[in-house]
A and B are shown apart, each in its own frame.
Chain A
Amino acid sequence: MKHQATFTKDLAKKQLNVTRNYDAPVDKVWKAWTVSDILDQWWGPKPWKAETKSLEFKPGGRWHYAMVGPNGERHWSLVEFRSIDPQRSFRTDVVFCDENGTTVDFGPAMHWYVEFSATPAGTRVDVTLTFDKEADLRKIVEMGFEGGLNMGLNQLDEVLEEMLVV
């Protein structure tokens, strides 16, 4: 079955909601969101690739990763886990940083609230993204998406299949 993500935005609240269904059980989807080896395989929108430096999935823990571009350029992010309700939800602050994890801007640029619910077919994931400032929104988009706009979803499928053949 083909699923599509649905989006709702609320400009006044500086919020974007993303919902998507998966045909996999909650424990599997949860794992894909919280284990670095798996995250690195799907997180980067092509041609960018996510590369985890460290991940400590616990309240107060951090995911330090880079978005690596086609020319080897790196944009670093630090995701801090504020709260975790295992197999149900987690909440984070996202800040920009350098390769040592030193933050480069003051304060978090974005927050995610990610919820997982069991459905008859598998799992529904609801992501609520909130950002603090116009400048942050720009940077978030640039960081993960430079050059990525022209990449068609079909190409994406091919590349993924290659990546998954171990």
Chain B
Amino acid sequence: MRRDIFQAIADPTRRSILILLATQAMTPNAIAEYFDTTRQAVSKHIQILVECEAINQHPSGREIYYHFNPTKMKEIDQWLEQLRKQWEDRLNQLDKLLKEL
């Protein structure tokens, strides 16, 4: 199935992983050390984040490093910003109209 960026941020563990990766690229083992859950559970979260395009994976030697993908998050923010403007326009128009009614 096609993943959705909102699935990435809906889960608290995944949000924590994103915050970790926002400051530096990390290997799956290094990420897993921050959590009490099993390595397998952390791997599953990482996999979902990759599918959502919230993070990218880059091999480096024998290791895989995960990087935060700010572009994807910005894209969502831009959509929300446009929605915000749309509602602002709409509600300003209502204000004008109410004065005439």
A residues with a Cβ closer than 8 A to B are 3, 5, 7, 9, 11-12, 14, 16, 18, 20, 22-24, 28-29, 31-32, 38, 41-46, 125, 127, 129, 133-135, 137-138, 140-141, 144-145, 148-149, 151, 153, 156-157, 160-161, 164
Contact = CB atoms under 8 A, between A and B. Distances in A.
Given A11-B9, A125-B91, A134-B76, A141 B98 contact: no
Contacts, number: 107
A25 to B, nearest CB: 10
23 contacts: A3-B95, A5-B88, A11-B76, A12-B10, A16-B80, A16-B83, A16-B87, A18-B84, A22-B94, A22-B95, A24-B98, A29-B94, A32-B98, A41-B93, A129-B87, A134-B5, A148-B86, A149-B82, A151-B89, A156-B92, A160-B93, A160-B96, A164-B97
- Chain B interface size range: 20 to 34
- The 3 residue pairs across chains A and B that have the minimum distance between CB atoms: A42-B93, A45-B89, A24-B98
